[in-house]
Amino acid sequence: MATAFSQLRTLLVLGRVSNLPTIWSNCLAAWLLNGGQAWKMFYVTVVGTTLLYIGGMFLNDAFDTQFDCQFRKERPIPSGQITARAVWLIGWSLLLFGWLLLSSLGLSVSLLALLLVGSIVLYDAVHKRTIFAPFIMAACRFLLYLVAASAALHAVNDAVVWHGLALAAYIAGLSYLARSESGQGIASRWPLLLLLAPLVASVTTTPHRDAISWIASAILIAWMLWCLRGIVGRVAQFIGKSVAGLLAGIVLVDWAAVPRMADGFTPVFIGLFVLALILQRKIPAT
């Protein structure tokens, strides 16, 4: 039993499943923004994108094997919990099955999902070797928005594009902060500006905001300030908890994007946010 549990935990750590609630909230936000109604297709979208995310996380460790053997020996592959070959096989298989499942939703979804798969693999392959990796990660989340929206049986509208770009900016800023976690020195200030993009998008794209919309934005601002308290000017090893909190905050970004269209879904976003925080206590988010 202990062996089975340890093996399951290894798979969960490799898949970084504590971030899955943010994938689901991305799908829900894009779906609602684009007026999605065929909920059976939404569920297929959630399963397909979940497979793509977990597959991408497995390949992330597979590509990083050499780096982890030197600097992160606690990771599953260098610590001997699983072989690199098994991680490669599982990662590629999940990407394939995820793409095939999404392709069943139509040509546009299939093509966008293929672009998403390509971006995931590109990020995994080069993220340790380029300063532009945060923007590749941002592109992955933007494409995820487009995939989920296109599955809603409508042409992707402007709201999806603008909120998707705002989310991408948030991800880029968050990713730059995360990179400093494993480095040396002081956290930069400029990526913090990118975290404000979702707030700007919510105000500019929704001229007549209701009370729930303002509440969602206020909660997002409060959470970002809480996560970033004291982070500027602190050495890199203190950044990890802030990064994890901001990752969970992706759900709040999604909630703030769609409150007027999310009648009855506010508890879902709040539940996903709480779930992300709970999972982070069990499985590392980064």
Residues in contact with 274: Cβ distance below 8 Å, sequence separation at least 6, in sequence order: none
Contact 17, 283 (CB under 8 A): yes
**Residue 8 CB burial class (10 angstroms; 0-12, 13-18, ≥19):** exposed
So where are the chain's domains?
2-282
Per the structure block, which two tokens stand in for 122? 């590109």
pLDDT tens per residue across span 184-194: 344 556 778 89
- Model pTM above 0.85: yes
Among residues 150, 182, 202, which one has the least CA distance to residue 67?
A: 182
Residue pair 167/205 in contact (Cβ under 8 Å)? The answer is no
CA 266 to centroid of chain Cα atoms: 19
Give me the DSSP letters along 224-242: HHHHHTTTTTSBGGG-HHH
- The tens digit of pLDDT for each residue in 33-57 reads 998 778 899 999 999 999 999 999 9
140-171 per-position pLDDT tens digit:
999 999 999 999 878 899 999 999 999 999 99
Q: Which residue matches tokens 């040396």?
A: 184
Q: How many helices (H) and strands (E) does the chain have?
A: 14, 0
